[in-house]
Amino acid sequence: MTAAVRSVGVEEELLLVARKTGEPLALSAAVLAAASRAAPDGQDEAFEKELKNEQVEFATRPVTSMGELAEEIGRWRAEAARHAAGVGAGVAALATSPLPVQPSMSPGERYRWVGEQFGLTAQEQLTCGCHVHVSVESDEEGVAVLDRIRPWLPVLTAMSANSPFWQGADTDYGSYRSRVWNRWPSAGPTEVFGTADRYHRQVADMRATGVLRDAGMVYFDARLSANYPTVEIRTADVCLHASTAVLLATVSRALVETAARAWRAGDPPPRIGVGLMRLASWRAARSGLDGPLIDPRSMAPAPAAAVVEALLEHVRDALEDSGDLEDARKGVAYLLERGNGARAQRDVLRERGDLAAVVEECCRITTEVPYHPRGGG
C-alpha cells in the first residue's frame, strides 16, 4: 500500500419497518433519542435524521483501510437495529419500501420549507441512498475528479441497485429509487465544469434562482461536499448487503484516484453530453445487473458484467497501489454471481410469495457481519 491513500467515509440511509408486516414506521425521533442516550458523553453520535420520519441515517468516520470501513458499516448497522428494536421496529437497508406507504416529513423549518416548495415530489420521497465521500487535496482537484468520473457513475447505480418495488408493485427497474430521486430539479448528471471557479459559480447561480434553499440541495450525482474536503458520490442505492457497500466504496476511491492522476497527467475529461449521461443513468436504473448497461468507453449497450469488469480494469492501477485489487476482484465476482439487492428482493418474493417476507429477510441481511479479507468479519 502506498503512503498516501485517500480516506473514505460512507453515509447510509436505512428504512425503519415493522418486522412482521414490513410496513415503514415513523419512529426516527424515538430511534435517534435512544441512540443519543446510548452515546458516551462527549462522543459524537453517528446517527442523524433524514427527510422522512420513516428513515434514519448514519455516517462512518473517515478511514483508509477497507477492513476498517467494513467494521464501521457493520457496527453502525447493528447499532441502528439495536436502537430500533428498543422502540419496536426493525431496520432494513432497502432503497425504497416494498410495501405501500404514505411517508411523513421530519420536523424542522428546513424540511417544512422543502415540503411547501416541492409538493408531491417531497411528499413521496421516501428513498434511501448510499453516499461515498473520498478525500481530495483541493477544490480544483475535486472538480477535476468530478469531470472525469461522470461516465462511470451509472455503473455504480447498477451495482448497488436495491429498489425494485414501489408502493407494493414491481416497477421493472433495478433502482427505482434513482428515478424517484431524479424528480428533484437539481438532481442528476452534470456537464464538465473545467475549473473550481466554474463549479462554484454554477452552484451560486442555482441558489440565486430561489428554487433551492441552500447549497446542500444541489443534488448532483457527484459533488464537492459542503462540509468536508471530499468528493461526494451520490448515485448509489443503499446496498442490501454490507459487503456491497464496502465494494462500492473501494471502487469509488479508486475512481477518484484514477481521475486525479489523469488530471495531473494533463489528460482531458471525456466530453460526453448530459443528454447521453441521462440515458446511461436511466439504463443502469432499469437494468441493474440483470440487463444491458451503457459502456462508458463507447456509449453503446453492452452486457452488465462486461461493463462492471471494464470499470474494474479502468481503476486497476489505483486499486493495486492501495492494496485493494484482489479484494475488489473477488468482490466483483461475488456480486456478479450473487446479484445485487434488487435481485435478492425478487428472489425472496418468488420463494415466499409476499412483500412482508421480503422486508423480514432484508432486515436479517442488513445486519449480517460484512466479510472483508483484512478485517470486518
Smallest Cα–Cα separation from 241: which of 86, 372, 60?
Answer: 372
Q: Write down the H helix ranges in the chain.
A: 28-38, 66-85, 109-118, 120-124, 139-149, 153-160, 176-181, 196-208, 242-264, 274-287, 304-314, 316-322, 325-338, 341-352, 355-366
All residues at 6 or more sequence positions from 109 whose CB lies less than 8 Å from its CB, including other chains:
none
CA distances from 167 to 20, 134, 191, 231 (A): 18, 34, 33, 33
Q: Is-contact 8 133, C-beta < 8 A?
A: yes
- What is the model's pLDDT at position 44? 57
All residues at 6 or more sequence positions from 334 whose CB lies less than 8 Å from its CB, including other chains:
243
- What is the model's pLDDT at position 225? 95
**Residue 302 grid coordinates:** 453492452
Length of the chain: 377
The dihedral built from the CA positions of residue 43, 49, 55 and 58, taken in this order, carries a sign that is negative
CA distances from 42 to 78, 142, 223, 346, 377 (A): 21, 32, 31, 43, 28
Cα 310 → chain centroid? 21
DSSP assignment letter at 231 = E
Phi, psi of 247 (to 5 degrees): -60, -45
Q: Distance (Å, rounded) from C-alpha 70 to C-alpha 376? A: 5
Phi, psi of 109 (to 5 degrees): -65, -40
CA distances from 116 to 32, 52, 111, 126, 185 (A): 25, 14, 9, 16, 15
Residue spans of the chain under pLDDT 70: 1-3, 41-44, 371-377
- What is the model's pLDDT at position 39? 78
Q: Distance (Å, rounded) from C-alpha 204 to C-alpha 200? A: 6
Q: Distance (Å, rounded) from C-alpha 242 to C-alpha 73? A: 7
- What is the model's pLDDT at position 372? 56
Cα 61 → chain centroid? 16
- What is the model's pLDDT at position 377? 40
Q: Distance (Å, rounded) from C-alpha 285 to C-alpha 173? A: 6
CATH for 8-366? 3.30.590.20
Q: pTM for this one?
A: 0.96
All residues at 6 or more sequence positions from 214 whose CB lies less than 8 Å from its CB, including other chains:
207
